[in-house]
Amino acid sequence: MLDPLVVGATVVMVPPYSQMDINTVASTIHKHTVTFALFTPTYTVALQQYCESSSTKESPLLTLQLICNGGEQNLMKMMFKVVLFLRSYFAHTIGYDCQVLDDYLQPIVVGDIGELHIAGKGVFAGYLNREDLTKKALIEYKNNTYYKTGDLVKIDEHGLIHFIGRKDFQVKLRGQRIEIGEIEQIILNFSSQVTHCVVIKYKDHLIAYVESSTTEVIEDKLKEHCEKHLPQYMIPSLFIIMKKFPVNANGKLDRHRLPEPDFTKIASSDQLHVEPHDQLEIDIHNIWCELLGLKKISVLANLFSIGGNSLVLMKLFSQYQIKYNYTQSIALLFQQSTIRKHSQLLQSTNTSQQQFKRWTPLHINEGQSSYAQERIWLDEQMRFNSVNSQIAIYNIPFLYRLTHGQLSIERLQQTLTLLIKKHSILRTSLIYDQEKQYLKQIINETYNYSFEETIISNDDQLQDIIKYEETSNKIFDLTNGKVFRCHLIRQERNDKGNILNENDFILFNIHHSAFDGTSIEIFINDFEFAYTNGQLTIENELTYLDYSKYERQMDMTQTRQYWSQLLEGYDREKQLRLPYEYHIETSQRSGHGGHIDIQLDSDLIHRMSLYANQLNISMFQLCLSCYYVYLFKLTHDQDLCIGSVNSNRYRHELQPIMGMFVNLLPYRIKLDVRKTSFDDLVKYIQHLSSEILSNGHLPYQEIIQLHKDTNEISSSLLPYVQTMLQYDQQESSNNHQIHLDNDQTCLSRLTLSSSSTTKFDLTLNIFYRSELSMKQLDCSFDYSLDLFKEKTIEIMTKRFEKLLIELFQSSFNKSKQPLYELSLILPYEQKIFNDLNQTNVNFDYPIKCIHHEFIQRSEEYSQKVSIILDEQSLTYSELFYYVQLVSIHLIKNFNVKLQEIICQCVERSLEMVIGILSILMTGGIYCPLNPQDPEMRLLTLLHDTQAKHLLLHRMTKEKFNFKENIIENLINIDEIILENNFIDNEHCLSNVNVNKDDIAYLIFTSGSTGKPKGVSFFWFFVCK
C-alpha cells in the first residue's frame, strides 16, 4: 500500500468489506484508470471471469499494465471450478425474460424498487374459470405475456436483481416506497426475546409494535438497532412494546385493538422532559403545542429541533404582542428559542410601555397597493415585458385529483363564490393611477373569476393544460380584478353531467399579486368548510386593503438604517462570475427557464439535520451557509448577496388574511474565507438571519434605493439579487389533501412537474419537511435559459452535491477548515488533473526509508492526489499534514520511543494510511491487527506484543472494551484529526533516526500449533 506513495503515484483503495465484490473492484479499476494491482490467483480468475461475462463493450481491465499474483497455487483447477459454478448458477434463468416495472408498467431506474414480471415458456396460460384473476396476474407488454409475480425487487448498477419483499406489504411514505417486511425482519433480529413484530403506517408515520415479555427490550435500544441497519426514512417513529399482542377469535392479530400511538414521546425523546413550572410557562406551552400540533413539549426543547421554523416564530411573536404586550425584538425570540427563555423574555417586558395597538378594519374599498403588489407589478413591467417574453412568471397553479367519492360542480361553484366573497383580494383590481403616479387597488362588488371545463383522454393533454396554466399571460386581467381561476379537467370516460368522479382534476390558479404560499392553507381550510357546510363565516376582520394602508403608515426609520449599514460598499452593478453560456447586458429576461433535481441520499440529509441540531441552527441557516460557500467557490467572490423571501406576516392579525405579503430580502455575506471555517460561517449567518428577520418588513424596492447612485441608469429591480435561495419548510401534509363531506370525498394535491419559467438567473430550491423523527429534503436548481445551457447546470448540481458530501459525509471534519480549502472538483476532473501531473520518477539516488521518501514526494507533488477511497481523497500535502499531526501527538502526548511496538486496528480507510506512516515516522514498529478477528485472538496478539499503544478509529473503538487492562493507551486517530491541534514542534521528528537493522513492522502468521506467530521485518528488507 505504501509503495506507490514512495514514487509519487496515487493509491486507490477499495471500500471496507468490498474487496470481495468483483463488480466493485472492477468498476474501481476502470473509474480511476488503475495501472497496477496485486491479487491472489483466485481473485485474478474471478476478475477475468467477470470481464468475460460482462455486457459492457469495454473491459474494466484495459487500463491495467501489470497484475502481480502470489500466495496460492493450482490456478488452472480454480479456473475450471469457477466456470462450472457460474454455468450452474445461471442455468435456471435461460429462456426467461425478466422485466422490473413500476405501477404504470414503465421500466424503473437502477436502484429503484419495482415489481418483477416474468415471460417465457414456463408462464402459465391463466386461471381456470377465473378470468378476473387472470387479468390481474397476466399482462401484455412489448408483444409478450408477462406474469406479475408480486415480488418487489431492485436492479443494482451491475444488473443483478435483489429481492426486497412482497408488494402486498408495501407502503408509501413521503414519496418513499417502503417494504414493511424488511423493517419487521430487522427488529426481529434484534434479540431472541422479540417474539413478534408488526409495523404499520399511521398517518404520516411508521409505528412498530413489538411483542416481548422481558424488560430487556426497550425503545431506545430498538431504535439504535434500526439506525444501524435501516435508512433514516425506514426507521419507525415510535416503538410500542407489548407483553402480548391482541388476537381475534381465529387466533390472528387484531390490528384494531393495537394501542393508539402517543406522539408526545417523540417531542421529548432526545432530552430530559421538563414540565412548565408556573402559569406563564403553561400558557406559552399551550401556544407552542397548538402551533406545532404536539400534545406535550419540554420547556427546555429548542423550537427548531421539534419542527419549528421562522414562520412559526413569527406567529409566536404576533401572539406575544397581543396577549403579553411584548415589545422587544423578534431576534431575541429567535436567539432564545425555548419555552423557558420565552417566558423570561415576556416577564422582562416593561408593561408600563404603550400597549400594543391592534390594526382594526378601515372599511375602505380603494387605496394604494401594498409594497409586495407594487414589486411584482414593477418586475413584470420592467424585466419581463419585452418582445422576448411571451410567458407569465407570476401564475400560481395548484392541482388536485379526486381520489375518493364524487364532487358536485354546482356546490363547487357555490363554494368558490363564498370564498371570493370572504377574501376580497380575489376580486381586487390593480390599476396604475396616472394622475397620482402610483399603483392602486380597488375592491370590486362583482365576482369576476374564470371557471372552465376541459375533457381529456390522455395524460399528454393534462400536461399541456398544466403548462398553459403556468405560462399563459392571457388568463388573468389585473385591471379588471380577474386574478382567480378554476379549471375542471375531466376524464373522457367520466364525463357525466354535473358531477366530478374519481381521477378527475381541479386546477386552481391565482395571480401572485393576490396570493402567496401561506395563503394556500387559508384557501384550503375555507374551501373544506364552505363546501361541507354550504356557508362561510365572514367576520368583521381586517382585509388585505387595510393591511396595505397600515403598512405604508409604519415608521421604518430604524429598519432603513439597518439595511443601509448592511449593504454599505456593495457593488450593486457587478455580475456574478458564474459559468454563463450567454451574456446579456441588460437586466431584461424572457422568463424561460429550466429545472434540474439534485438527488441527496437519506444519510446525507440525516447528517445535515444532526449538524443543525448540534449547533442549534435552523435548516434554512445551514442551507444558506452551504449556498454561500458554493457560490464563493464558483465565483471566487467573498462579498455576495443571496436573495431569499420573508413571509412578512409579522402581526397576529395578518395570519388569516389571503393575499401577497412576501418580501424579497438580500442576505449580504462578506467574510475572509482564509480565516473563516464553515462552523464560523454558520454562526455568522445565524446572527445575520435573526437581524434580518427583525428588519424584514422594509420593502425590497425601498432597500435598493438606499445606495442608488444618482447617475445609475440601470432599470433593474434586482441590483442585489441575481441568485436566490428558495426555502420552504413544512411540518405536516395538511395542504396535500382536501377532505369534504366528513371524508366522503377526498382531493389529493399533485406535485406539478418542474416549471418552465424562472424569475432569477439561478435559484436553489430547498424543500424541507421535518415531522418528528422523519426528515425529507428535496433540492433542485432553476436556471434562466437566457444565460445557461442544461449541460452546464448538470455539472453545477454535481458540484453542489459534492460540496455537501465533503462537508457532512467526509471522514475528516471539513467544517473546521478554512472555507477556501473546500473543493468542488469532480472525480473525472480529478482524473484529468492526475493525468496532467503524471511524471517519471528518477531512482538514481539511494533508496531511503519509506517515510523519508514519502516526505520528499510530498514536497515534489504537494497538490497531487496521494490516496483515493470511494469519494474521499487526500493530496500529498494533506496526507503529510495529518501524518505529522498524529506522529507528533504520539511522541509528545504518549512518549512513544524508538523501536517501540505500536499496534493498529482500523478498517480500510484513509486513517489506516495516516496511522501506518505516523508510526513509521516516530521510529516505532508497526503491528497491524485485523478488526475481523475474534476478541480472544486480539487479546492474545496484544498480550504477545506487550504493546503499550493501540491506534484505532470510530469503526473499531467498540471492539476493545475489554475487562482486562491489557493495553495502556487506546489512541483514537479520528479524535486527533478532529481536534486538529497541531503542535508546532516538528524538530521532535527530525530527531528520530532509524537504521537498516531496526525493525520496521511486525505481522502474525498462523503457526502449525494453531497459535499465531509474530514475524518481524527489518528496515533493510523493507527498503530493498
Tens digits of residue pLDDT in 7-47: 889 999 988 777 767 778 888 888 888 888 887 665 676 67
Under a CB-based contact definition with an 8 Å cutoff, are residues 211 and 242 in contact?
yes
Please choose, from the candidates 100, 29, 91, 99, the residue with its C-alpha nearest in 3D space to the C-alpha of residue 66: 29
592-613 confidence digits (pLDDT tens): 999 999 989 888 998 998 899 8
Do the beta carbons of residue 612 and residue 829 sit within 8 Å? no
- Rounded CA-CA distance 400/824 in Å is 40
Does residue 977 sit in helix, strand or coil?
Answer: helix
Average pLDDT of the residues of the chain: 82
Pick from 766, 826, 732: which is nearest to 609 by CA? 766
Q: Single out the residue of 643, 679, 350, 379 nearest to residue 511, CA to CA.
A: 379
Residues in the chain: 1024
If we measure between CA atoms, which residue out of 381, 378, 308, 382 comes closest to residue 339?
A: 308
Q: pLDDT, tens digit, for every residue of 84-127?
A: 333 333 333 445 678 888 665 766 655 557 788 888 755 665 65
Residue type, 499: I
Determine the Cα–Cα distance for residues 99 and 145; give it in Å rounded to an integer: 11
C-alpha cell at 811: 471522514
Please tell me which of 60-74, 506-520, 532-546, 974-988 the model is most confident about, judged by mean pLDDT. 506-520
Half-sphere exposure of 509 (CA within 13 A, CB side): 30
978 dihedral zone (left: phi>0; alpha: psi -120 to 50; beta): alpha
Helices (H), 822-875: 827-836, 850-860
C-alpha grid cell for residue 477? 386581467
- What is the set of domains in the chain, with CATH numbers? 3-93 (no CATH), 174-261 (3.30.300.30), 279-348 (1.10.1200.10), 366-550 (3.30.559.10), 576-821 (3.30.559.30), 839-1023 (3.40.50.980)
Confidence category of residue 563, pLDDT binned at 50, 70, 90: very high
Share of the chain above pLDDT 70, in %: 80
What value does the mean pLDDT take over residues 383-406? 83
Q: If pLDDT is split at 50, 70 and 90, which confidence band does 657 have?
A: very high
Residue 839: pLDDT over 50: no
The single-letter code of the amino acid at 692 is I
pTM: 0.55
Range 965-976 average pLDDT: 88
> How far is the C-alpha of 585 from the C-alpha of 192, rounded, in Å?
71
Give me 80's grid cell.
475450471
Cα torsion for 674, 675, 677, 682, to the nearest 10°? -110
DSSP 3-state of 779: strand
Tell me the average pLDDT across 802-819.
87
pLDDT of residue 1009: 43
Distances (CA, A) of 42 to 39, 49, 65, 225, 888: 8, 11, 19, 36, 41
Confidence grade of residue 77 (pLDDT, cut at 50, 70, 90): very low
Establish how many alpha carbons lie within 13 A of residue 94's alpha carbon, considering only the half-sphere containing its beta carbon.
7
Q: Is residue 83 scored above 70 in pLDDT?
A: no
792-813: average pLDDT: 89
DSSP 704-750: TTTT--TT-----S-SS-SEEEEEEEES--GGGEEEETTTTEEEEEE
Contact 638, 670 (CB under 8 A): yes
Q: In 428-556, where does DSSP find H-type helix?
A: 459-471, 517-533, 544-551
Residue 704 neighbours by CB distance under 10 Å:
21
In this structure, which amino acid lies at residue 623? C
With beta carbons less than 8 A apart as the criterion, state whether 974 and 953 touch.
yes
End-to-end Cα spacing for the chain: 16
Find the Cα–Cα–Cα–Cα dihedral 167, 170, 172, 178, rounded to 10°.
-110
d(CA 453, CA 465): 11
Residue in the block written with cell 420547556: 299
203-241 per-position pLDDT tens digit: 667 899 998 878 888 888 898 888 777 756 678 878 999
CA–CA distance, 204 with 935 (Å, rounded to integer): 43
Give yes or no for residue 693 having a pLDDT over 70.
yes
Residue 671: CB atoms within 10 A of its CB come to 17
Reported confidence tier of residue 81, pLDDT bands at 50, 70, 90:
very low
**999: enclosing H helix or E strand:** strand 999-1005
Are 641 and 720 within 8 A, CB to CB? yes
Sign of CA dihedral 272, 278, 284, 288: positive
